[in-house]
A and B are shown apart, each in its own frame.
Chain A
Amino acid sequence: MSQFWLRVTLILYSIGLAHALLTVFIRRAKLFRVALGAISLAAVFHLVSIVEQAAATRRFPITDFHHSVSFLAFSITCAFLIAYARYRFQALSVFVFPLVFMLTLSAAVSSGARLEDPLLRSGWIWLHVLLLLAGYAMLFVTFAAGIMYILQERELKSKKPRAFHYRLPPLEQLDDLAHKTLAAGFPLMTLGIISGALWAAAEWGSRWPLDPKIALSFVTWLIYLGLIFSRWTAGWRGRKAAYFAIAGFLATVATWGANSGLHSFK
């Protein structure tokens, strides 16, 4: 049943995606209401799918790759809806919706045996995954805001407004969005890493092994820490901060993709 609701969700996401692209590319504002409606409804069904899966397995369903992808898509949708409620940036949907659609698609079509590492069933490891995925979702919005900032800044500096200029939101608000999502995503990521470390310490004592994911996550964390620090102290903002946010997100993707050693889904 959970898979059925996920497919309903997928259809709604595809409707939202199509309408959002039409809105932004041909600038027909009315279509965005359809996109927004479809995405909001999709979020509801997505939640239903997750809850049903949780009820069926009596566990928070993010401990295998397939379900963690689905949960990541759900988190990104929520991050988008929160950001949209505050900023009303339609252009953000062009970044968010395709990714959400692809993630949900891969979660909805993948089937077959889902082997779970018995390690992942234990205790509160789900909290580790939950915090990190929620953090990734926020930092993805930071990344999207950064890209939009760089494009819009280039338009404004070039003094020749082209297609991007008319479609992208104002600079200062983009910077604000990037800052706020960073301020939310970074603590989530930090707590996620800490919870993982605590859990590992409880499991193996002080002798838990270092794997590529752990190493990469530490690099990612340092990049974001650097960004936050320079924002606070040196008043970094705008273009430099946007480039930093993009670098941080690329590191995040590498971290997420590095599934070996301790973090392999066996």
Chain B
Amino acid sequence: MRSKVASDLRTSDLGPVDLEMNFGLVGLSHKSAPVEIRERLAIPEAALPQALEALRRHDGIREGLILSTCNRVEVFARGRPGGNPADSLVSFLAGYHRLPAGELKPHLYQYAQRDAIRHVFRVTASLDSMVVGEPQILGQVKNAYAAARAAGTACGLLEEVLMRAFSVAKKVRSETGIAQSAVSISYAAVELARKIFGSLEGKHMLLVGAGKMSELAARHLLRSGAASLMIVNRSLERAEELAEAFGGQAVPFERLFDSLAHADIVITSTGAPHFILKKEDGPRILARRRNRPMFFIDIAVPRDVDPELNKIDNIFLYDIDDLQQVVEANLAERRHEAQRGEQIIEREVDRFLARARTLEVVPTIVSLQERLEEVRRGEIERLRARLGDLSAEQEQAIEALTRGIVNKILHEPITHLKSAAQEPDSRKAIDLVRRIFNLK
């Protein structure tokens, strides 16, 4: 037992006594403050070392981390015993930006202890993000941690919180679907194509008309493995231009139907005022391709493809509103999955706190063991002369005997300390044991 907790301790550079949990967090995000306030309170990356240094010197702060992104500014810290780190952090933020604290306060949220840890976990796992599950935030928290570590403001329990936050974020990502479905229109088109065709490898694409959106979707699809790209445009010149840019092949408008028979994915975005593909075209095209499925993405407004085409077997037609609807359904799915993420976080916060509380009593346990070992050795030394010559066996017996006594005596107080660690007034038990055994 001793070796396990003792090795945990060595990861902290602050020395064994400094393990008191006193966490606080102050911040503002897209949920609590308008962008005008957020940009005023942002701390650019270049200014971070200086800001962390100021934070370290601030009254009542022992360790700290500053996270500043375009959606949030958060200061997470561990305070000195007795103080309230959240209050110190408000005054730090106000002082750093030279703003009156009263003006800031309405936009800030403040958390202490358990709530602060939970908030760090939630932010890192992207459950608090504007788009739930977006992946950038994890990297941003990692950068903030690297900066704090470089500035020497994250080296004790706070570092443990962050390490745990990273692994919890990974767990939430892999065990829930918060990051699984597309939340942008062009990526939603790629995902739909994957749900129709499976792999996009070997699939042929046809771009009818050109535009920013359709080019973006085409680029996404090509990057996802689509084999080739044909481009049809009223102006062949423009088609050739695009074909060159994408490594595709320009096709004259008259050969639209030939190329449709070869295309698995068709993106239309012409400026035509009427449908360029009508319902009766569907079966004709399918007949030429032995009913292999087709995916039409109609980005044009007014639409290029008759919506009736979607009713034909093996044709799947999505217009811009449909894609938007898919994105919204995906967002709802992410929010639904996020609830499961919250449960994971709740459990992980409990686990972390239980471990951290055990860490709080570890120094006492270690010095208790050292104290009794000292007594034991001292007594053996003292009586060594009177025992005379001993055989190796007798020597061993004495060792075993004295060790046995020490361990038996230690067993009860250690068990008590460990269980007291999980109670709110663990401090009392620690102080009591320290007084009884006269530990420093």
Contacts and interface: CB of A to CB of B under 8 A. Distances in A.
A interacts with B: yes
Interface of A: 26-30, 152, 156-157, 159-162, 165-166, 169-173, 235-240
A235 B197 contact: no
Contact of B333 (A159, A166, A171, A235): A166
Chain B, interface residues (CB within 8 Å), range: 20 to 34
A164 to B, nearest CB: 11
B197 A161 contact: no
Contacts of A152: 195
B314 interface: yes
A172 B180 contact: no
Contacts, number: 67
Given A170-B197, A238-B314, A159 B322 contact: yes
B174 A29 contact: yes
Given A26-B340, A166-B177, A171-B195, A160 B329 contact: yes
A237 B292 CA distance: 8
B194 interface: yes
A185 B291 CA distance: 23
B290 A235 contact: yes
Contacts of A170: 194-198
Contacts of A157: 310-311, 316
Contacts of B174: 29-30
A240 B310 CA distance: 16
Contact of A28 (B175, B192, B198, B311): B175
B291 A171 contact: no
Contacts of B244: none
27 contacts: A27-B177, A27-B337, A28-B175, A156-B192, A156-B196, A157-B310, A157-B316, A159-B325, A159-B326, A160-B325, A161-B181, A162-B329, A169-B198, A170-B196, A170-B197, A170-B198, A171-B196, A171-B197, A172-B197, A173-B198, A236-B291, A238-B291, A238-B313, A238-B314, A239-B313, A239-B314, A240-B313
A169 B181 CA distance: 14
A166 B179 CA distance: 12
Contact of A172 (B176, B196, B326): B196
A95 B196 CA distance: 21
Contacts of A169: 198
Nearest to A171: B196
A26 B340 CA distance: 9
Given A29-B174, A30-B174, A172 B293 contact: yes
A157 B316 CA distance: 6
Given A27-B176, A29-B174, A166-B333, A238 B194 contact: no
B330 interface: yes
Contacts of A30: 174-175
Nearest to B323: A159
B330 A161 contact: yes
B293 A238 contact: yes
B294 to A, nearest CB: 11
Interface in B319-349: 322, 325-326, 329-330, 333, 337, 340
Contacts of B175: 28-30
Nearest to B330: A161
Contacts of B292: 235, 237
Contacts of A238: 291, 293, 313-314
B121 interface: no
B195 A165 contact: yes
Nearest to A236: B291
A153 to B, nearest CB: 8
A171 B291 CA distance: 13
Nearest to B291: A235
Give the residue among A28, A161, A169, A170 with the most B Cβ atoms within 10 A.
A161
Contacts of A26: 340
A237 B318 contact: no
A154 B115 CA distance: 44
A152 B321 CA distance: 20
Contact of A237 (B176, B291, B311): B291
Nearest to A163: B333
B196 to A, nearest CB: 5
A70 to B, nearest CB: 34
Contacts of B177: 27, 166
A230 to B, nearest CB: 11
B204 to A, nearest CB: 14
A166 B316 contact: no
